Amino acid sequence: MTSPSKTLRAVTLVLRILLGAVFVYAAWTKLRMPWELFAMEVDSYQVLPLKVVELVAHSLPWFELVVGLLLIAGFWLRSAAAAITLLLAVFVALMVRAYAKGMEINCGCFGPGDIISWKTLLRDGSMLAAGLALTVLSFLRRRQATAR
């Protein structure tokens, strides 16, 4: 095994464990509370009709949990990494929109009390960058494996 591929593997491992843990934690903060609290946070972005808000509030935490566990376990890595990156891109876009409009709302990322600010944007933006890197790395690794 060459040194660059070792590095690639190590970076991939760190990123997937970190992002996986963050997503499992995010899911846990939502699932331990009544679903209505997360629904209100989703609703406060004022982009979805009520029925869709309820659907998102019921399903998103479970999706975060499953995708987070897949990342930690390393199963379906490319799909899980791509899904998390897409999800983070949507979250960041919605947060930027809310921040730009001056909406003083909770981001809904890790339970209550997490009001949108430049800090939350920086945090989620960093996670998006990590997700993008992980997605690229997981596809690169796949390409290397098939080339051998």
Partner 1 sequence: MNMRLGAVALLWLWPAMAAVNDIDPNKTAGNPSAPVTIQVFSDFECPACKALHERTLPLLQRDFVSTGKVFLVYREFPLPQHAHSREAASYATAAARLSLYQPVADALFRDQVAWSTNGKVWDTVAGVLTPSQQTRVKAAAGSASVLGEILRDVNLGHAVPVTSTPMLLVSRGDKRYPVSGTLSYEILKSLIDDLSK
Q: Please give the distance of CA 83 from its chain centroid, rounded to a whole number.
A: 8
* Stretch 41-70 residues interacting with partner 1 (CB under 8 A): 41, 43-44, 46, 50, 53-54
Kindly indicate which of the ranges 22-30, 33-41, 68-76, 79-87 contains the residues binding partner 1, using the contact rule CB under 8 A: 33-41
Q: Give min distance, CB of 61 to partner 1, in A.
A: 15
**Residue type for position 43:** D
What is the three-state SS of 83-145?
A: HHHHHHHHHHHHHHHHHHCCCCCECCCCCCCCECCHHHHHHHHHHHHHHHHHHHHHHHHHHHH
Number of residues that bind partner 1 (CB under 8 A): 20
Which residue in 11, 33, 47, 52 binds partner 1 (CB under 8 A)? 33
Q: Indicate the SS3 state at residue 49.
A: coil
Q: Name residue 60's amino acid.
A: L
Encoded one letter per residue, x for contact with partner 1 by CB under 8 A and - for no contact, window 72-111 reads: --------------------------------xxx-----
Q: What phi-psi label fits residue 103: left (phi over 0), alpha (psi between -120 and 50 degrees) or beta?
A: beta
Question: Which CB sits closer to partner 1, 6 or 58?
Answer: 58
Minimum distance from CB of 59 to partner 1 (Å)?
16
For the four alpha carbons of 36, 42, 47 and 51, in that order, the dihedral sign comes to negative
Which one of the spans 3-11, 22-30, 66-74, 112-120 is the region binding partner 1 (CB under 8 A)? 112-120
Task: List the structure tokens of 93.
Answer: 């876009």
Interface residues toward partner 1, by CB under 8 A: 33-34, 36-37, 39-41, 43-44, 46, 50, 53-54, 104-106, 112-115
